[in-house]
Amino acid sequence: MRARMIAAHIALLIYTLIALFPVWVVVINSFKSRQAIFREPLALPDADSFSLIGYQTVAAQGDFLLYFQNSLIVTCLSLAGVLLFGAMAAFALSEYRFRGNALMGLYLALGIMIPIRLGTVSILQGMVAAGLNNTLAALILVYIAQGLPLAVFILAEFVSGISDDLKSAGRMDGLSEYAIFFRLVLPLIRPALATVAVFTMIPIWNDLWFPLILAPSEGTKTITLGTQVFLGQFVTNWNAVLAALTLAIVPVLVLYLIFSRQLIRGITSGAVK
Amino acid sequence: MFKRPHILVFLAPAVIIYTLVMILPLFGTLRLALFRGDGFVGLANFQTLFGDPRWSAAFWNALGNNLWFFIVHMLVQNPIGIALAALLSSNRLRGAAFYRTAIFIPTILSFVVVGFAWKLILSPLWGIAPNMLDAVGLKSLFAPWLGREGSALTTLALISVWQFVGIPMMLIYAAMISIPDEVIEAAEIDGITGWSQFRRIKLPLILPAIGIISVLTFVGNFNAFDLIYVSQGALAGPNYATDILGTFMFRTFFGFQLQLGDPNMGATIASVMFVIILAGVCLYLFGIHRRLRRYQF
């Protein structure tokens, strides 16, 4: 038993090293001078080899602050849309019996399996026709549509778990259906909302396809697209490339470490069965 | 429904956005595939795609590559994910939360970061990969894997496996910890432990989860684009050796270098992808999902 535990730890440790090694190499080398990057790629930066030249290049060249701001706006507004509209639809589907209820649920669930990317050609044409190409609004709309199916599916399960007594008591007190949703139901499904938020956020923040196609202009680039373009231009400037990669890794990593318990609890609690 | 307007109000925003931005464009794309410019041409675009030697060679190349990309995921990613989940869920393992969190980290990174970081690590210029192989006496094995036609696609598939192994790991882990302790204890009393316990008790119980990760892998792989685009460019080099349906559709739709963009052919490829993905999902839903017995405890 003991020996087996040790073997399990060794196997897991090896895999953890495999998972973290590339990230580690990129981050430590981003703080080194060019010579040190090539001479001893696996060494930690020391007084001799420490250099911020890569970060200076990034700061001088790219509009990373703007890209970052764009990504933040797109992610936050998409997230707000997915959570609010998703919770409203989930509430309607699981609270009220009406004709077409099951059909509507199935219709919304279609998008869980069929990727929205397949409609890209028409999405671009539609956005151009609506004058929304090269705006953040186009991205936000697409990401809301992309996130809704799974959000509705997961939230409906949680909403239907809320006790009927509570809602009946609310109705007895003369609360409108809207008040019941916003004042009673929403606060109760906050943990589920957090889970859905983490699920939804990561693909939006990391997406390259839609920013590349719908909003590639300089003013609307997201951080993912901005990094990609920057890396393409500075491909031979290793300091700048490593610094840009580190800047792209760190915020996501910090957010992940803060929310990882929520994410993991969300996955393991059977939210995706 | 009309007597209770609040139902409409609750449903409207989600249904309207979803319909306008997702469902209608999906059908719009299928429709575009039947047109050339403004004229309706029936299935002529599909005839071009499958019949014209230049198009069909590119298409079958992309489809074949995509299939190989998927096979590598099924053979490498999912077994590793299952093995990690099995190790993590063995009882009384300390530090499971730490391993879980750490192994999931690559999954949250963007393709841009993953593609480029690996490109640097595998680069013969930097020498991290050759030096590490040298340290274990295997330097002769090193080759510029991403630059060779024979190995580029497999290398990229393995990079993608590295990135996404966290997803099967988590889903299988969730399935394994939901197996009740009594079942495991009963097995142990009968002397079934270790590997045979995994194979004969746990594996049948996690089959539904394995079905789910298979279909998720399928949909994700046949819809992939970013990793290839980031590390090999839209031309999916070397010599289209890493071209998959996603990059093929992007190049066709947008054009690249001397080739002009062609929305109709782009839509045609998207329609074929739609059919492939739909077929895979249906096969899962009606063929596999139904046949897997669900164990309810």
Note the pLDDT of residue B89: 85
- Taking the CA atoms of B212, B215, B221 and B225 in sequence, report the sign of the dihedral they define: negative
pLDDT at position B2: 61
Q: Do B117 and A115 touch (CB under 8 A)?
A: no
Q: Which residues of B touch A18 (CB under 8 A)?
A: 162
Q: Which of B117, B208, B277 is nearest to A249 (CA)?
A: B117
Chain A residues touching B32 at Cβ < 8 A: 121-122
Mean pLDDT of all residues in B5-28: 94
Q: Do A113 and B277 touch (CB under 8 A)?
A: yes
Contact list in A for residue B281 (CB cut-off 8 A) is: 113-114
The more confident residue out of A171 and B291 is A171
Inter-chain residue contact B32 with A121, CB threshold 8 Å: yes
Closest CA to B172 of B208, B136, B218: B208
Cα nearest neighbour of B253 on chain A: A121
Contact A252, A83 (CB under 8 A): no
Same domain, B179 and B266: yes
pLDDT at B292: 65
Out of B1, B173, B254, name the one closest to residue A268 (CB).
Answer: B173
B113 and B140 in a single domain? The answer is yes
Interface test with A, best of B1, B8, B11 (most A CBs within 10 A): B11
| Integer Cα distance of A250 and A223 in angstroms | 12
Helix axes A223-233, A238-266, angle to 10 degrees: 150
Residues of B with Cβ-Cβ distance to A120 under 8 angstroms = 25, 29, 253, 266, 270
pLDDT reading at B291 higher than 90: no
Chain A residues whose CB is inside 8 A of the B113 CB are 26, 227, 245, 248-249
CB nearest to B274's CB, from A26, A98, A118? A118
C-alpha B231/C-alpha B71 separation (Å) is 20
pLDDT confidence of residue A44: 85
Single out the residue of B97, B240, B84, B223 nearest to residue B165, CA to CA: B84
Which residue did the predictor score with more confidence, B80 or A264?
A: B80
Could you check whether the bond before residue A251 is cis, i.e. omega within 30 degrees of 0?
A: no
Contact A12 B274 (CB under 8 A): no
Rg (chain A; Cα; Å):
23
H helix intervals, B91-191: 96-108, 111-122, 128-135, 152-164, 166-177, 181-189
B1 and B79 share a domain? no
Q: Per-block average pLDDT, block size 10, for chain A (273 residues)?
A: 84 94 91 85 83 88 86 95 96 91 91 90 94 95 96 90 88 92 91 84 91 93 91 86 88 84 69 42
Q: What does the block give as tokens for A202?
A: 């990561």
- Best A28, A79, A122 member to test B by mutation, with max B CBs in 10 Å, is A122
Question: The domain spanning residue B144 has which CATH number?
Answer: 1.10.3720.10
A161 versus B103: the higher-pLDDT residue is B103
Q: Is residue B296 part of a domain?
A: no
Of A9, A110, A126, which has the smallest distance from its Cβ to B25's Cβ?
A126
Contacts of B36 (CB under 8 A, 6+ apart): B44, B45, B264
Listed in order, strand segments (DSSP E) in chain B are 35-36, 39-40, 255-256, 259-260
pLDDT at A62: 66
Complex prediction ipTM:
0.89
In this structure, is residue B50 part of a structural domain? yes
Q: CA angle, corner B25, sides to B24 and B26, nearest 5? A: 90
Hey, are the CB atoms on A272 and B92 less than 8 Å from each other? no
How high is the pLDDT of residue B267? 94
CB atoms within 10 A of CB A102: 9
pLDDT of residue A238: 85
In this complex, how many residue pairs, one in chain A and one in chain B, have their CB atoms less than 8 Å apart? Answer: 254
Nearest to A148 among B14, B225, B246 (CB): B14
Q: How many domains does chain B have?
A: 2
Mean pLDDT in residue range B217-222: 94
Contacts of B226 in chain A (CB under 8 A): 207-209
Q: Cβ contacts of residue B165 below 8 Å, gap of 6+?
A: A19, B77, B80, B81, B84, B103, B106, B107
Query: Look-up: residue for tokens 């060679």?
Result: B57
Same domain, B126 and B5: no
How many CB atoms sit inside 10 A of residue A76's CB?
13
Is residue B149 domain-shared with residue B249, that is, in the same domain? yes
Same domain? For B6 and B54 the reply is: no
Nearest CA in chain A to B112: A228
Interchain CB distance below 8 Å, B270 and A96: no
What mean pLDDT value characterizes chain B?
A: 89
Q: Where are the domains of chain A?
A: 2-51, 57-271
Residues B157 and B203 in one domain: yes
Candidates B1, B3, B6: best to mutate against A (most CBs of A within 10 A) is B6
Residue in B with minimal Cα distance to A179 = B6
Token pair in block for residue A120: 């890209």
Same domain, B5 and B70: no
Q: Is residue B20 part of a domain?
A: yes
Q: Quick one: B172 and B278 in the same domain?
A: yes
The predicted pLDDT at position B208 comes to 86
Q: Which two tokens stand for residue A106?
A: 């199935």
Distance CA A257, CA A89 (A): 31
| Number of CB atoms found within 10 A of residue B149's CB | 12
| Rg of chain B taking only CA atoms, in angstroms | 23
Looking at the fold, whether B105 and B216 belong to one and the same domain comes out as yes
Contact B104 A205 (CB under 8 A): no
Contacts of B274 in chain A (CB under 8 A): 114, 118
User: Which amino acid does the sequence have at A232?
Assistant: G
- Report the pLDDT value the prediction gives residue A271, as an integer from 0 to 100: 43
pLDDT digits (tens, 9 = 90+) for B110-165: 888 899 889 888 888 887 788 788 778 777 778 888 888 889 999 999 999 999 99
> How large is the greatest C-alpha to C-alpha distance in chain A, in angstroms?
75
Nearest Cβ partner for B26 among A100, A114, A202: A114
For residue B41, being part of any structural domain is answered with: no
Q: What single string gives the DSSP state of each residue in A193-249? A: HHHHHHHHHHHHHH--HHHHHH--SGGG--HHHHHHHHHHHTTT-HHHHHHHHHHHH
CB spacing of B29 vs A269 below 8 angstroms: no
Angle between helices B53-72 and B44-51 (to 10 degrees): 80
Residue A202 is predicted with a pLDDT of 86
Residues 6+ apart with CB under 8 A from B198: B86
Does B222 reside within a domain?
yes
Question: How far apart (Å, rounded) are the C-alpha atoms in residues B116 and B232?
Answer: 10
Question: CB atoms < 10 A from the CB of A227, how many?
Answer: 27
* Minimum-distance CB partner of B281 among A19, A108, A113: A113
Candidates A88, A122, A264; nearest CB to B25: A122
Cβ atoms within 10 Å, residue A47: 5
Q: Which of B99, B112, B270 sits opposite A227 (nearest CB)?
A: B112
A92 with B101: Cβ contact below 8 A: no
Residue B52 and residue B106 in one domain: yes
Pairwise CB contact (< 8 Å): B126 & A37: yes
> Do B17 and B163 have their domain in common?
no
Asked if A209 and B15 come within 8 Å (Cβ–Cβ), the reply is no
- Domain assignment present for residue B297? The answer is no
Cα A143 from Cα A77, distance rounded (Å): 9
Residue span of the structural domain in which B6 resides: 1-32
CA B275 to chain centre: 16
Q: B11: which 2 tokens? A: 């449903």
Q: Class of the A57-271 domain?
A: mainly alpha
CA gap A63, A244 in Å, rounded: 12
